[in-house]
Structures are given as C-alpha cells and as structure tokens.
Amino acid sequence: MNFEFSEEHKLIADSARDFAEQFIRPHIMDWDEAQHFPKEVLHKAGEMGFMGIFIPEEYGGSGLGYHEYVAIIQEISKVDPSIGLSVAAHNSLCTGHIFYFGNEQQKKKWLPKLASGQWIGAWGLTEHNTGSDAGGMNTTATKDGDYYILNGSKNFITHGISGNIAVVIARTGEKGDSHGMSAFVVERGTPGFSSGKKEDKLGMRASETAELIFDQCRVHKDNMLGSEGEGFVQSLKLLDGGRISIGALSLGIAKGAYEAALKYSKERVQFGKPISSFQGVSFKLSDMATEIQASELLVHKAASMKNKGEKVTTTGAMAKMYSSEACVRIANEAVQIHGGYGYIKEYPVEKFYRDSKLCTIGEGTTEIQKLVIARNILK
C-alpha cells in the first residue's frame, strides 16, 4: 500500500519531534533512574494537542486521524518510549473508551478535560490473577438503587496513582460471561477509590504503573458507559484500535535504536575502519532497516483501515505482533553493534533494549495476538 502523507502530517510529526527534544530528552535518564512520572510533561503535551489526538474539536480534541496518531506516538517514543507509552495509553484507552462508547452528556463532561491534558486518564481491565483471561475478573459492581458498589482491585494500570479519572471494567454478572461485565468512569476523590502499590519495572520506568483499589466504592449509574453487560465487548473493540498504539510505540523504539546503532557503526573504528564496513555489522543494519519498513507498512495499513471505519481486529493484531517482536530484535541488535558500550547507560540503546520488551506484553501478549489472528483466518 502506498501512503501519501500530507504536508500537515509532516508538520505534526515535526512538532512532536520538537516537543520530545525540548521537554523530554534532557531528563530521560533522571526520570528513568528515579522511576519518576513527569505529569507536567503530559500537561504540556495536552497544550500541544497530543492528549486528544483523534478526539473531535467539539470535545476539545485535535480531530486528527490515525496516521497522525501513529506519527506523534512514534516521534515521542524515539526519544523516550516511557512518555510515548503514557501518551498512547491516555489517548487510546481511557479517553478512547469514553469517546467511542460514552453518551453525549458523558463526552461533554469528561473529554474536554482529558483532551486538553488537564486531566490524566487511567484504564482498568487487568487484575492480579486475570491477565489474558480478563473474563475471569474478580472486581465486582453490585447494583444498589441508582448506584453501583465496586469492590476489588486492578493491577498494571498506567497512571494508577496520578490519573485524575479511570475507566474501570467490573463484573456485573457471572464470572466468565462475556456479557457479564460493565464499564464505569470513576473520578479521583470518589470515596472508596484509592491507589495501591507502584510497580518497580525493568523498563518504561517514567510511565507510572500501579494498582487501583475499590472498597465499597459507590459509582452513580450515570457513570456507566453504554449499557450493563457491554463493558468487556467494548474493551475488546477498544483494544483492536489500541494495538495500533503499541505498533506506533514499537516503531518509535525500533527507529530510535536503529538510528543510534547506525550512527555508532559509522563512528566506531576497529582494525583501521568503521565497523559499518564489516559485513557482520552491515547485515545486521540491513535486517533492522527492513524490519522497520515492514512494521511501518503494517501499522499504517491498520491506521488506514481504522480511519475508514473498517474492522481492524486481524490487521491490528498482526501489526502489533510483528512490530513489537521486531522492535525487541532491533533493540537487541543495536546493543550488540555497540558491543560493551551497549550495556552502559550512557548510550541510549541500553534503555531502548529494556523498554522494548513491554511491547510484546502490553495490550495483549504476542501469544494472544496469534490466537486472535488464527481465529480470524480459520473462520
């Protein structure tokens, strides 16, 4: 497929690149070492229009398409994947869930705050004992007049502590029933809603990951997105598009690692010549460049389908699976090209290597993507 990107698309990519260089690059390793979540940077991203990328202007968003979305996430992730992850999760999960499945009143109430970056969003599906098996969740929402009482916890939640608002999936029916779960919007400060343990992670350390805890948390029925029993089905549809986010994140990591390795291979001299002149290194670079091209085509094909309103379940899973696995391979080879220096935090490939692994796990593991693809091609 041939994607003819407009001048506007290129300007948007440039603005995301400039934003990352100015507000993120100077602090990368400080944030990483301290596992500090720079909430103020996301507020700044909101001022730039990066926190409501595909949200229509009537709700305070930028009204852009998915090709632009991919460009923004990719350019930020080339500098720091942690911030790319936070921007992606805010856009595609919390904000996206309200946009795609909320009623008009709910959209007008919450989207302007989210799209402007004034509020940071979280999204809760995963639990301690239910990762890929989300249908077996234990968090419940029990009807009590005009309210639902939430009890349980969610883990591995991006912005679990700093988020001002969360979309939470809770069980309103029988365990394992795909129509037995519902989605609720819960604002920070709601009695019974608190945060738990912050995870100490291998990579993506500047993107906050923590527990959400619900203890007799009363949520009004007007905070339910859609109808009772639709939460899990909504989540699956949302994750179809969300996988484009991980594809974009993977692309950013892959390009960042590749460009660092390419530059180093031209500068590093061994046996009297740059190591890029040796076939063992040049072939690695050839493979890396090819995998980036393949990933880019798959991700933008999924983005094109999403823009047209077409079903992206299979293509999104393919894009996510291939690009995430490719970015791990590319980051690994980038470290190898750097040799001993690739193992040192002074060089950027060490962090790309650590950050890359999450892409094969978040928003559905590689194995889940293969399951999704297999089910669809075997229908």
Express each pLDDT in 53-85 by its tens digit.
Answer: 999 999 999 999 999 999 999 999 999 999 999
183: number of CA atoms within 13 Å, CB side?
A: 29
Whether 363 sits among the annotated catalytic residues: the reply is yes
Q: Above pLDDT 70, what percent of the chain?
A: 99
Measured in degrees and rounded to the nearest 5, phi and psi for residue 90 equal: -60, -45
- pLDDT given for residue 177 in this prediction: 93
The residue ranges of the chain whose pLDDT is under 70 are 1-2
- Please give the single-letter amino acid code of residue 99: F
Contact by Cβ (8 Å): 327, 359: yes
3-state helix, strand, coil in the chain (%, to 5): 55, 15, 25
Q: Count other Cβ atoms within 10 Å, centred on residue 294.
A: 13
Buried/exposed 352-376: b ≥16 CB within 10 Å, e otherwise? bbbbbbbbbbbbbbbebbeebbeee
Cα(26)–Cα(38) distance, integer angstroms: 12
| Residue entry with tokens 């098996």 | 133
Helix (H, G, I), strand (E, B) or coil at 172: coil
- pLDDT given for residue 5 in this prediction: 87
- Residue from 127, 208, 363, 367 carrying the catalytic annotation: 363
Measured in degrees and rounded to the nearest 5, phi and psi for residue 330 equal: -65, -45
Displacement of CA 16 from its chain's centroid (Å): 16
- pLDDT given for residue 1 in this prediction: 63
- pLDDT given for residue 130 in this prediction: 87
pTM of the model: 0.97
- pLDDT given for residue 2 in this prediction: 65
Measured in degrees and rounded to the nearest 5, phi and psi for residue 98 equal: -65, -40
Question: What separation in angstroms does the CA of 191 have from each of 186, 194, 213, 215?
Answer: 10, 8, 11, 8
Q: Above pLDDT 90, what percent of the chain?
A: 95
Question: What separation in angstroms does the CA of 142 have from each of 136, 168, 188, 224?
Answer: 16, 14, 20, 13
